[in-house]
Amino acid sequence: MALTETRPEAAAPDAPPEAATPVTTTWLTASDHKTLGRLHLLVAFLMLGVAGVLSLAMRIQLTGKDLTVLNVRHYGQVVTLHGVLGVFLVLVPVWFGLAFAMVPLQIGARRLAFPRLCALTLWLLVAGAVLILAAPFTRQGSPSTGWALTTPIPDRGVSPGHGADLIILGLGVIAVAIVLGAVNLLTTAVTMRAPGLTLRRLPLFTWSIVVSSAVLLLATPALLGGLVLLFVDRHYGALVLDPRRAGDPQVWVTLFWFFAYPALWAMVLPALGAVSEIVQTVSGRGLELREVAFGAMAGVGVLAFTGWGSEALSLTTTGQRVVFGITSLAVLAPAAAVAGTWLLTLRHERPALVSPLLWAAGFLALFGLGLLGRAITALWPLGKAGHLSYFSVAGQHALFFLVPIVGALAAMHFWAPKLWGRHLAEPVSVLSLLAVVGGAVLLVGGMAAAGLQGMRIHLSAYPGHGDWQAANVVATIGGFVLVLGIVLVVANLAVSVGARRGRDAGVNAAWQGDTLEWWAVSPPPAHNFDALPDIRSDRPLADLRAATTAAATASATASSASADGGGG
C-alpha cells in the first residue's frame, strides 16, 4: 500500500479546462490533494446533515416530559447513530479534508507523500458511511448502546441483529482509513517540507495536524483490535468478551476508550492550530510565545493518552477517582495555554474584525465553556455534574464536538481563497457565526442546567421531573438555532463559491498571510508552486515583505541623497 509511489506530475502548461470532464469522473479519479480535501469536506457536511437531523429529533423528544416522537428503542438507536456519525463521519473527514488540502500548501510541497493513498482514505470513509447508514435499515435496526457500543454487544456472543455487525464493520473500515490518513499526513510533514522549513518553523496548523495524526496513529489500532474482538466473538464463537466463559467485556470498553479519549482530543488539536494561524495572520505579527503554543499542543497530544480511565471505568475506587481526575484535569492545562498565546498576541493590536477572527472569537467562547465543563466533571466525577450526568454530556458536546466544528468553520472561512478561490460573503458569515455560537451556547447551557438538576445520560423521557423541562426547552431552541447557523454557512458556501458571487480572492494578499500557502495563487494550480521563496523563519512571506520594504526605502534614500548631492 505505502509502496505506491507517484512520479512528480509534470506541470501541464495548458491543462484542459475542468469542464471538459464530467464532475463525477473528476471526483472518482481525483488524486489532487485539494480536490480530495474538498471531497472530504463534502462527506463531512452530508453526514453533518444526517447527524443534525437525528440530534434534532432527540432534542424535540426531550422538549416535553413524556413525548414519544421516538419510542425508547428508536431513541436509543438514534443516540448510537448520531454519536457514531458525528465523530467518525463528521469530525474525522472535516479535519482530514482541511489537512489534506492545506498541509502540502503550508509546507511548500507539490502534493501529498501518497496522493492515491489519500483517495483510498476518502473512499474507505465513504464505504464506512454506507455500512453504518445501512444499519438502521436492518430488521432489528442499529443497536441502542450509544456510540461506545457497550452492553449488550460485547456481553453476549449472541447477535442482536445485523445492525450491530454493520456498525462494527463500518467502524473497522473507517479505523483503517484513519490510520492510512494519519500515515500519509505524517509522512508528508516529515519528508516533503520545503528546504529551510525545519520542524520548528512548521506552520502552527501543520504542527497541530502532526500531533493530531500521531495521536490517531497510535490510538486507532486499539479501536481496531477491539472491533476484531467484537466481531470474532459474535461470528466465530470466540469467548474473549464473554463473562460466563471466563472472558471479560471490560476489555472492549477499555480498548474503546483508550482510543476514543485521545481521538477526541485529536479532533480538538487541529482547531487549536487553525485558530492560531488565524490569530497570527490577522494580528499581522508572529504568535507570541510560539514555542509555548508548539509545546502545549504536543502536551495535549501526550496527556490525552492518560485520561481514558475516567470514561472507561466506573470509578468505584478512590484511587481511580484521584488518578483519572488528575489526568483529565492535566490535559486541560496545555489546551488552555494555547488559547493564552492568542490573547497575548492580540493584546497590543486592534486587529481588523474580519470574519475569520470573529469565528476565532466565537471558538474561544465555546472552548472556554468546554474546558470549564470538563474541569467540573473531572473534579466531581460522581455528582450531578459527574460522568453519568447530562452535565457531562453537555461538556463532551461542547469540547469534543462543537469546538472542533466551530474551529473547522473558522478555518474554512480563513482558507476559502485556497480551498475554493473565493472569499465567503462577510455579512452572511457574521450572521451564521452568531447563529452557530449563540445556538451552541444555548444548547450546551440548557443541557448543563438539566444535568445540574439531576438529569442523567441516555434518558428519552422524564415523567415526574417537570423542573427539567425549562432547561431542555432552552437546549432544543439552541439546537435549532445552531442548525440554522450551519445551514447559513452551507448556503454562504453555495452562493459564494458555487454561484461565484463571493468576493474574488483575486490577488494573493487575501489576509496578508505569512506562511507558504499564501505564496501560491488562489486557487492553487495542480502543482501548487512553480518555485518557492527562500525560507529563513517561520514566517517566510513576512520576511519577504520586510526585505521589499527595506529595499524600497534604501533605494529611495539613495536617490534622495543623490538629488541632495546634485543640489549642493
Partner 1 sequence: MAVATAPAPSATLALPGPPGPVDAPSGAGASRVALLLAIAADLMLFGALLAAYFDVRAGATPWPPHHVKLEDYLGGVITITVAMSAFSVQWMLSAARRDDRRTALVAMLLTLGLGAAVVNAQTFEYGKVGFSTRTHVYGSLYHLLTGYYLANVVAAAVVLAVVGVRVAAGQYGSGRVDAVRGAAHLWQFTNLVWLTVFLVLYVVK
Taking alpha carbons only, the member of 40, 60, 227, 51 closest to residue 133 is 51
Q: First CA to last CA across the chain, in angstroms? A: 75
Nearer to partner 1, 457 or 544 (CB): 544
Nearer to partner 1, 309 or 446 (CB): 309
Beta carbon of residue 526, minimum distance to partner 1 (angstroms, whole number): 9
Beta carbon of residue 327, minimum distance to partner 1 (angstroms, whole number): 18
Nearer to partner 1, 454 or 525 (CB): 525
E strands in 173-258: none
Unique residue bearing C-alpha cell 473500515: 173
Nearer to partner 1, 426 or 543 (CB): 543
Q: How many CB atoms lie within 10 A of CB 330?
A: 17
Nearer to partner 1, 230 or 474 (CB): 230
Instruction: Give the whole-angstrom CA distance, residue 35 versus residue 86.
Output: 23
Unique residue bearing C-alpha cell 501526550: 302
Secondary structure letter of residue 518 according to DSSP: G
Beta carbon of residue 337, minimum distance to partner 1 (angstroms, whole number): 27
Secondary structure letter of residue 494 according to DSSP: I
Beta carbon of residue 195, minimum distance to partner 1 (angstroms, whole number): 5
Q: How many CB atoms lie within 10 A of CB 486?
A: 19
Specify the amino acid at residue 497: V
* Residues 264 and 370 sit within 8 Å (Cβ to Cβ): no
Nearer to partner 1, 208 or 453 (CB): 208
* Residues 432 and 492 sit within 8 Å (Cβ to Cβ): yes
Give every CB contact of residue 537 below 8 A, 6+ residues apart in sequence: 201, 543
C-alpha torsion angle, residues 514, 433, 404, 397 (rounded to 10): 160
374-379, long-range: CB within 8 Å, 24+ apart, which pairs?
A: 374/328, 374/332, 374/399, 375/329, 375/332, 377/328, 378/310, 378/324, 378/325, 378/328, 378/329, 378/332, 379/325, 379/329
Nearer to partner 1, 186 or 442 (CB): 186
Nearer to partner 1, 27 or 231 (CB): 231
> Between vectors from CA 359 to CA 356 and to CA 360, what angle results, nearest 5°?
85
Instruction: Give the whole-angstrom CA distance, residue 392 versus residue 220.
Output: 24
Cell of 103: 498541509
Nearer to partner 1, 105 or 497 (CB): 105
Nearer to partner 1, 240 or 444 (CB): 240
- SS3 of 499, please? coil
Nearer to partner 1, 142 or 184 (CB): 184
* Residues 492 and 425 sit within 8 Å (Cβ to Cβ): yes
Give every CB contact of residue 173 below 8 A, 6+ residues apart in sequence: 124, 127, 128, 131
Beta carbon of residue 319, minimum distance to partner 1 (angstroms, whole number): 18
Nearer to partner 1, 383 or 525 (CB): 525
Burial group, residue 456, by CB count within 10 angstroms (0-12, 13-18, 19+): middle
Beta carbon of residue 188, minimum distance to partner 1 (angstroms, whole number): 8
Beta carbon of residue 281, minimum distance to partner 1 (angstroms, whole number): 15
Taking alpha carbons only, the member of 477, 497, 310 closest to residue 395 is 310
Q: What is the DSSP string of 294-307?
A: HHHHHHHHHHGGG-
Beta carbon of residue 313, minimum distance to partner 1 (angstroms, whole number): 13
Instruction: Give the whole-angstrom CA distance, residue 377 versus residue 328.
Output: 9
Q: What are phi and psi of 195, to 5 degrees?
A: -55, 135
Beta carbon of residue 203, minimum distance to partner 1 (angstroms, whole number): 15
Unique residue bearing C-alpha cell 463571493: 502
What pairs with residue 504 in β-bridges?
A: 422
Instruction: Give the whole-angstrom CA distance, residue 551 versus residue 46.
Output: 50
Nearer to partner 1, 8 or 568 (CB): 8
Nearer to partner 1, 385 or 535 (CB): 535
Beta carbon of residue 385, minimum distance to partner 1 (angstroms, whole number): 31
